Structure 1
Amino acid sequence: MVRTGLIFQVRIPSKTDKPGGSPVKQVAKENLLPAPTLLPTIHELDLFKCFQSVLIHLQMLWELVLLGEPVVVMAPSPTISSETVLALVSSINPLKFCCDFRPYFTIHDSEFREYTTRTQAPPNVVLGVTNPFFIKTFQSWPHIIRMGEIRMAGDLPKQVKVKKLSKLKTLDTKPGIYTAYKTFLHKDKILIKRLLKGIQRKRPSEVQSAILRRHLLELTQSFIIPLERYMASLMPLQRSVTPWKTPPQIRPFSQDEFMSTLDHTGPQLTSVLKGDWMGLYRKFFRSPNFDGWYRQRHKEMTQKLESLHLEVICDADLLSWTKDKSEVEIVDLILKLREKLVTRRQQLQVKDGVLDKLDTFINSIIRSLPEDLQTVLNTH
């Protein structure tokens, strides 16, 4: 039976969205009757429901995701499988998870043979599965999370234990985290006590999730802020950007130089967690998540340099510069400026009017050239 008269309000995520961005909000000005049903995005998961049986291992799970380790989530249903995988991936917001993840992976997926082979190391992917067949197939994987049924009762959920991979043998294996991984950082016992006490006091799951999400956000920010600060120091000084030269290069990222900054500007400034932060950074440098973060930040900084270069060019007296230059040099300048306009108009964020001003400059220079050159340049 199909029901009519229902209004759904959704927001399709776009490429420009930041991880963990604000959820869809109902528009107050529209008096829609009946009131629209809001469909949540994957960023609005009930984190507490997903993690309630592994609260004491949150630090381990966060590190595994941060480092892009191969993880298999074995769950009793596709819903639990999908929600757990998405919760894991979102646990490192606002850092983008740059590895592959499959909320519900089956034997019919095209990568099944590749992911289950024992002749090579497992790929950097988080898989969610339900088929008991996978217990035997994925025994060579380093980290396996076996989930039980999710119960949101008022009593304390039973916390799963960390077990050796060798014990993952039978089809009736009990819930647990099967891994030999040792965390770099210590557990946040205060957070765990707070969440467990919240269960006893029947604190709403939404509130528990908000506490959990904030903790994970602050933890990730404490880790990423030193990297952001160091990356910013690699940017050339603005005064080194001149109109007649190509923009200066961004200094290369030096892991050793970055590590030397941690004593004074490290995560200990914003996080109370103790442990081997340096060891965690060293392993992070070898992960796809670092590679993805670095490439994105380098791209943004390069575009910023290009924007500054365009603005400096527009502030320069281009017509005066061309007076003692040969026609070849002037044509070369015009072609380069045009290339910047064409390739950068959609990519760069520059001050209002800069691109239009540059376009005017180009036309002025062209008009100062002989008519035959003007004709050639105006037809290209």
Structure 2
Amino acid sequence: CVFIFQVRIPSKTDKPGGSPIRQTPRENLLPAPTVLPTIHELDLFKCFQSVLIHLQMLWELMLLGEPVVVMAPSPTVSSEIVLALVSSISPLKFCCDFRPYFTIHDSEFREYTTRTQAPPNVVLGVTNPFFIKTFQTWPHIVRLGEIKMAGDLPKQVKVKKLSKLKTLDTKPGNTTHQSPDLSLETSFIGFQRKRPSEVQSAILRRHLLELTQSFIIPLERYMASLMPLQRSVTPWKTPPQIRPFSQEEFMSTLDHTGPQLTSMLKGDWMGLYRKFFRSPNFNGWYRQRNKEMTQKLESLHLEVICDADLLGWAKDKSEVEIVDLILKLREKLVRNKLFFLFLFFLQMETVATLPRSQSK
């Protein structure tokens, strides 16, 4: 009996929920392969089944990069819950620190347990009862019991306000100082009793993906509008700059392009965006998108340079103008490490060294 195991390392270019890799003709001759899930494909329903009614709040806390402590009965439960929380905002990258299993021996123990400053933007998974008292001043605390494998919907626990928190309270539940900006009914997700956990998890993952996409698509659309028009990119000038991100201008677009058009959730979307702008996740997202757009702009500039008639342009230009263009091309060549520009560089350098009568 032949078994084929395929393991694929996720790429940053992967799209969540995309189709699996197709088999080659040679693979079709063999038994159907067993595809092992990646390390990011946790059983979300198994992880969140005891806190489903808090799902919306937990998603918002991850989106905003809020300080969260997860108190679990074992390192396994602690690690799975923290990783599930971090992955709940996929495909948006979680840009804060997170520790699936934090102990008193970690180097940041003193920093994270001090009460002289606000808690950092980090998600901590802990099991030591010592942390029950140490972290009681943190703004968001999630207490969990043992994770069960059953696909049935469990009895849900209620949210407690910090003012009602007992110092040595160890019962499962969620403690927070704020209410979610959006409202969610678990019936919207499509859970049904006695459905296999794998199916429930797939439904939950799809719901979280759609929720994050509804939130991020207006930002992506606005960010794309900051890109200069392609016709404004010319070979003889420095590429135009990407327009700066204006929070107020973006907020003014939400009435016509906001997430309320694609999501059933109601609530203060604008308030959620304003909080998101102050979070490390927004800074990380904006830096990455700005970097990608800058590279795209640089690529467009290189394309128009390659398509341009540089020798024809140089015929009626002064030697100073030609040398200036050569220096700019050389700088671009070094910055982008592109060898094919070297050919254009040689042509232009030859023209610049010729007597003016020959160059014309």
TM-score normalised by L of structure 2: 0.89
Residues in 2 aligned to 1:154 and 1:327: alpha-carbon distance in whole angstroms: 77
In the alignment, structure 1 residue 123 sits paired with structure 2 residue 120: yes
In the alignment, structure 1 residue 88 sits paired with structure 2 residue 85: yes
- Secondary structure, in 3 states, of the residue corresponding to 1:366? helix
Match of 2:325? 333
Shift of the 324–371 alpha-carbon distance from structure 1 to 2, 3 Å rule, reads: closer
Match of 1:135? 132
Shift of the 222–31 alpha-carbon distance from structure 1 to 2, 3 Å rule, reads: closer
Contact 1:76–1:148 under 8 Å retained in 2: yes
Match of 2:142? 145
Residues in 2 aligned to 1:147 and 1:25: alpha-carbon distance in whole angstroms: 37
Structure 2 counterpart of 1:119, which letter? T
Residues in 2 aligned to 1:144 and 1:42: alpha-carbon distance in whole angstroms: 25
Task: Out of 254-263 and 334-343, give the one that drifted further.
Answer: 334-343
Please point out which of 333, 341, 347 is paired with 1:364: 347
Match of 1:248? 240
Contact 1:145–1:177 under 8 Å retained in 2: yes
Residues in 2 aligned to 1:12 and 1:182: alpha-carbon distance in whole angstroms: 37
Match of 1:40? 37
What are the equivalent positions in structure 2 for 1:138-177 lying under 5 Å apart? 138-153=135-150, 155-171=152-168, 173-177=170-174
Task: Deviation per CA, 1:73-116: give whole Å up to 9, x if none.
Answer: 11111111111111111111111111111111111111111111
- Secondary structure, in 3 states, of the residue corresponding to 2:332? helix
- Secondary structure, in 3 states, of the residue corresponding to 2:8? coil
Residues in 2 aligned to 1:19 and 1:175: alpha-carbon distance in whole angstroms: 35
Shift of the 263–172 alpha-carbon distance from structure 1 to 2, 3 Å rule, reads: closer
Residues in 1 aligned to 2:145 and 2:110: alpha-carbon distance in whole angstroms: 26
Shift of the 21–203 alpha-carbon distance from structure 1 to 2, 3 Å rule, reads: closer
- Secondary structure, in 3 states, of the residue corresponding to 1:191? helix
Give 1:259 deviation, angstroms: 0.9
Shift of the 224–35 alpha-carbon distance from structure 1 to 2, 3 Å rule, reads: closer
Contact 1:162–1:179 under 8 Å retained in 2: yes
Query: Gapped runs of 5+ residues in structure 2?
Result: 356-360
Contact 2:94–2:281 under 8 Å retained in 1: yes
Give 1:132 deviation, angstroms: 1.0
- Secondary structure, in 3 states, of the residue corresponding to 1:306? helix
Residues in 1 aligned to 2:303 and 2:27: alpha-carbon distance in whole angstroms: 42
Give 1:365 deviation, angstroms: 1.6
In the alignment, structure 1 residue 277 sits paired with structure 2 residue 269: yes
Give 1:225 deviation, angstroms: 0.9
Shift of the 25–53 alpha-carbon distance from structure 1 to 2, 3 Å rule, reads: farther
Please point out which of 203, 206, 214 is paired with 1:222: 214
Residues in 2 aligned to 1:31 and 1:154: alpha-carbon distance in whole angstroms: 34
Structure 2 counterpart of 1:277, which letter? W
Structure 2 counterpart of 1:183, which letter? P
Residues in 1 aligned to 2:43 and 2:58: alpha-carbon distance in whole angstroms: 16
What are the equivalent positions in structure 2 for 1:184-223 lying under 5 Å apart? 184-191=181-188, 194-195=190-191, 198=192, 200=193, 202-223=194-215
Task: Deviation per CA, 1:327-346: give whole Å up to 9, x if none.
Answer: 44333322321222232247
Shift of the 136–294 alpha-carbon distance from structure 1 to 2, 3 Å rule, reads: same
TM-score normalised by L of structure 1: 0.85
Match of 1:376? none
Structure 2 counterpart of 1:261, which letter? T
RMSD value, Cα: 2.7
Structure 2 counterpart of 1:78, which letter? P
Query: Gapped runs of 5+ residues in structure 1?
Result: 347-354, 373-380
- Secondary structure, in 3 states, of the residue corresponding to 1:73? strand
